[in-house]
Structure 1
Amino acid sequence: MQQKPARIRILDAAHELMLTVGLARATTKEIAKAAGCSEAALYKYFASKEELFIRVLEERLPTLGPLLDRLMSEPEKYTVEENLTEIARQAALFYEQSFPIAASLYAETQLKRRHDDAMREMGAGAHMPIKGVAAYLRVEQRAGRVHPYADTFAAASLLMGACAQRAFAYDATAEGTPPPVDSFAPAVARTLLRGISLAGDPA
């Protein structure tokens, strides 16, 4: 059986290690070892662990970017509620899978600060999905399908915040699991839309 290309093996190993031991403890040395290559080979494909982290998020987890690009290019193909539901579904799945990877950063303040600095230099970070959803909502405003006075950044923050909370806020419940994404996403979208629709009157 033919071996996978080195870049794919590195991404696979990084994804597995980041899930099992967390981003903070997944060193490039351990990732390279798990991928069956040298650290030098790893750095041939990825400039830093932060870049590798971004590529894992983009290539191994559900991503919002392509969806938002499509919705902004043809927003009226579906209703706003349908679009928000799909955004919420993708975001909920993304946070569900990425939270175990990134959570360990919050236990190490200096490492978190270095990570944030690196993300900033690459034009990435946890705030980017919020900005992307806000941009989509502004497209809907211009199309007359969202209230002209709705605060799109606040609306995007509420949507993404709810999806992020779903990833960790339900562990202590009797069920010990988050609400099913297929019922959670439409409920969140429907509730948000009541506040930003043309029928509403945001201050």
Structure 2
Amino acid sequence: MSTRERILDAAAQILRTRGVALATTKEIAQASKVSEPTLYKYFEDKERLLLSVLQERLPGLSRVSVLPGAGDVEDNLAELAQAVLDFYQQSIPMLGALLADPQRMAAHRVAMSRHGGGPDKAVAIFATYLRAEQAIGRINADADPDAAASLLIGACFHEAFLRYYANGPDAVAAPRTFAEMLARAAVRPLI
């Protein structure tokens, strides 16, 4: 296993249990058996490391490929919704403490923007997909893809939060049937 992979594995484990606000690059370096300067050779800052963990160690939209015009719109949205549900359920414990620290949240927001990350990306992916379906006539011309995307992403986040709140880090992932129900509710008014 490469040094970068060891760092990512250690960071994912530590971030899941301690969250980004409490985890330090020093303890991540120690857990991955590298020096802290070595960690910074691979990741320029803690936010780049966090973003890499989120992108490479958690389920998410980068692992789902739906094409406008291919398949059923509801099925495609259910696939996207399932990926987002799974991602949020695993990332909430990593990121939750940021909400209680306005200064840390502001610094995190700036760093994520600099690295091209952030929570707005999921809404943009859904809205882009819906606009493409709209352009080929599979969604009503008067539908609002941005609003539909926001509603669907919001519902996914809420469900993931409720599951984590009720059961902690061992919460069972939302079933595919729940993602399908959300997709149907979001897309039916658009078709």
Question: TM-score normalized by structure 1?
Answer: 0.87
Higher relative contact order (CA 8 A, sep 6+): 2
Distance in 1 between the 2:131 and 2:98 partners? 33
Aligned to 2:177: 183
Aligned residues: 188
1:61-118 superposed Cα distances (whole Å, 9 cap, x missing partner): 1121352xx32xx322211011011011111001011111111111211111100011
The structure with the largest alpha-carbon Rg is 1
Structure 1, residues 138-196: CA drift from partner, whole Å, max 9, x if none?
Answer: 100011001111111111001111111111225359xx967832221010011111221
> Where does structure 1 differ by over 4 angstroms across 4 or more consecutive aligned residues?
176-179
1:138 alignment partner, one of 128, 131, 134: 131
Q: Which residue of structure 2 lines up, in the alignment, with residue 200 of structure 1?
A: none
- Are 2:85 and 2:174, in contact at CA under 8 Å, matched by a contact in 1? no
1:59 aligns with 2:56: yes
On the 8 A contact 1:64/1:90 being kept in 2, the answer is yes
Give the 5 Å matches for 1:110-125. Answer: 110-125=103-118
The partner residue of 2:69 within 73, 76, 80 is 76
Contact 1:167 1:178 in 2 (8 A): no
Q: Which amino acid aligns with 1:18?
A: L
What one-letter code is carried by the residue in structure 1 that aligns with 2:160? A
CA shift for structure 1 position 121: 1.3
- 1-structure distance, mates of 2:129, 2:6: 35
> 2:175 & 2:146 partners in 1: Cα distance?
23
1:91 to 74, 77, 84: 84
Q: Is structure 2 residue 26 aligned with structure 1 residue 29?
A: yes
Alpha-carbon distance in 2 for matches of 1:108, 1:122 = 21
The CA RMSD over aligned residues, in Å, is 1.8
Partner of 2:27: helix, strand, or coil? helix
Unpaired stretches in structure 1, ≥5 consecutive residues: 198-203
Partner Cα distance (1:144, 1:157) in 2: 21
Identical residues among aligned pairs (%): 44
